[in-house]
A and B are shown apart, each in its own frame.
Chain A
Amino acid sequence: MSGRFLSRVFFAALALFLALPLVVIAGVALNEKKTLAFPPQGLSADWYLQIFTDDAWRAALVHSVLIAASSALISVAIAAPLAWFLWRRVAPWARIVQVLGLSPFILPPVITALGALSFWATIGLYGQPWTVVISHGIFFVSLPLVTITLGFATIDREIIEAGTTMGADDRTLLKTIVFPLIRPYLISGFAFAFVLSLNEYIVAYMTIGFTLETIPIKIFNALRYGYTPTMASVSVFFVLVAVTVFGLVARFGDLPKLLGAWDEGER
């Protein structure tokens, strides 16, 4: 009994630790005047509306969403055929490509960022807005690669065998069996890459930091050159976006399984 009570206290304390900074910034964003006081002095939703009404913040939001959506597409476009090839073919050397796809996420991000900066500066394209789309696409390949590989691992090869026996070629199998089975993993891989790209700062800063503002870059600049409650409200907005996206992934997919837990039946 006391053990259960203790573990409740432990969970509550960790929940508080994780939530507290977010509660405070949600609060300071409610201030009536341009101050980061907490508890807020006077209540106003203006700073939350500013995300959409203020031209500079709205532009940063649009940039962030466009970059995230297109770079997540690139990540999936790289990860999907790679995962398919690894599942379909015996080719030990293909493991090298797989390791390359996984490494940006394991290595410290500053390395990918500096690599991107060196690359785009060397070929003379540094600062072009689209360069960050490609660099983010590469940086986040790891996520769809992990989820899609997991998706392939769940396909019962006997189903494919049955399809082959009945005369289906690779293309038909892909369209009728493989694709529908891995679709949830494609979507969740996209979702993970999308949310992380939205929040990514260092690669974005080292590729387009001086030409274009994304939300994280704009928050950082506000941190250096002048606080405004909008940076708090937009942070809260981003937390909500992340929780919504992961909530949807959990609603339409199997989140524990996506994160590496076995199904009950597989035990």
Chain B
Amino acid sequence: MRRTPPEKPADYLPIAFPAAMLGLFFVVPFAIMVAISFFERVQGGFYQPAFTLANYGRFLSAFFGEILVFSLFLAALVSAVCLVLGVPFTYLLTKLSRRVQVAWLIGLLGVLSLSEVIIGFAWSTLLSRTAGISNLFVALGLMQQPRAWTPGFAAVMTGLVYQAFPYTVLVLYPAFSRLDPSLGEAARTLGASPLRAFLTVIVPALRKTLIATFIIVFIFALGAYLLPQILGRPQHWTLSVLVTDQAIYQSNMPFAAAMAVFLVIASLVLVLLANMINRREPAS
């Protein structure tokens, strides 16, 4: 069957509902949010229509600058760690039997779908003094007494990597499972060790996929809104946490909206970049 352009008005019917729903409940809310980012805050937690750039002006403060730099740094670090773990993992995973692959995929999806609330709670328990893993180390004689590893930067990192690792694997999975197996075999036949074949043949072959994945995971990590709050101290808060905090607890919708608009622009630029990098790569 050939695809045909829609001709009669009735041909447009199937797309009318999706377009209307997405327009009304995604585009319109988005537009309202952009509008609010130019509004003025009124004491008492409300805002009134106005046109002010003051909310964006606050970006120029040192406080905001620090949060921005920290958010970007944290997201980049999380993405790098996830790739370092995820690339060899995904490569080895696609070599395993189908049964084992499916079992891992179910587990990874299970962790990926977990609420940030649950991940944060689970890690804060695991790293706590009373119920945490340090008790195990004390029991094994590795430590003198149990201690709390949360809140702290390491705890935030651990939580974020925990959340982003399954995502990284699932983003890498299609590329690795479509990779021509003869590529690695050829390298092996020519005498390369498995590690060398992986580093000198497989990784370069997927270079662009890896860069694109880095960006996608970076955006994912940038989106974490609770883990830095549950597992970190206020200096570990990220832009996403700050947006929530301003919107809900400080009741400063215009400033929250301005930060969200900024976050959208940053993410869009990154997505376009990832797409551009990926498109230039012919299917491997």
* A residues neighboring B (CB under 8 Å): 3, 7, 10-11, 14-15, 17-18, 20-22, 24-25, 28, 36-39, 74, 77-79, 81-82, 84-85, 87-91, 94, 97, 100-101, 103-104, 106-119, 122, 134-135, 137-138, 141, 157-158, 160-161, 164, 192, 195-196, 198-202, 205-206, 209, 215-216, 219-220, 223, 231-232, 235, 238-239, 242-243, 246-247, 250, 255-256, 259-262
Contacts and interface: CB of A to CB of B under 8 A. Distances in A.
A18 B121 contact: no
Tell me what chain B mostly uses at the interface: helix, strand, loop, or mixed.
helix
Contacts of A104: 26
A232 B223 contact: no
Contacts of A235: 118, 121-122
Chain A CB within 10 Å, residue with most, of B108, B125, B173:
B125
A239 B109 contact: no
B247 A206 contact: yes
B5 A89 contact: yes
Contacts of A15: 107
A84 B14 CA distance: 8
Interface stretch (B51-59, B61-69, B126-134, B200-208): B126-134
Interface centre among A3, A161, A246, A262 (most CB of B within 10 A): A246
B29 A107 contact: no
B88 A10 contact: yes
B135 A38 contact: yes
**Which one of A3, A87, A103, A111 has the highest number of Cβ atoms from chain B below 10 Å of its Cβ?**
A111
Contacts of B98: 256
B210 interface: no
7 contacts: A24-B122, A24-B125, A115-B260, A201-B115, A206-B247, A220-B117, A223-B121
Interface string B71-115: 000000000000001001100101000100110011111110111
B18 A79 contact: yes
B122 A25 contact: yes
B133 A250 contact: no
B83 to A, nearest CB: 14
A37 B131 contact: yes
Interface in B120-146: 120-126, 128, 130-133, 135
Contacts of B128: 36
A97 to B, nearest CB: 5
Contacts of A87: 3
A85 B194 CA distance: 46
Contact of A18 (B111, B226, B253): B111
Nearest to A209: B248
Contacts of B162: 17-18, 21
Nearest to B11: A89
Contacts of B11: 89
A232 to B, nearest CB: 7
Contacts of A106: 216, 219, 267, 271
A259 B170 contact: yes
Given A110-B263, A206-B248, A201 B106 contact: no
B36 interface: yes
Which residue of A24, A205, A223, A232 has the most chain B CB atoms within 10 A of its CB atom?
A24
A262 B178 CA distance: 6
A114 B247 CA distance: 8
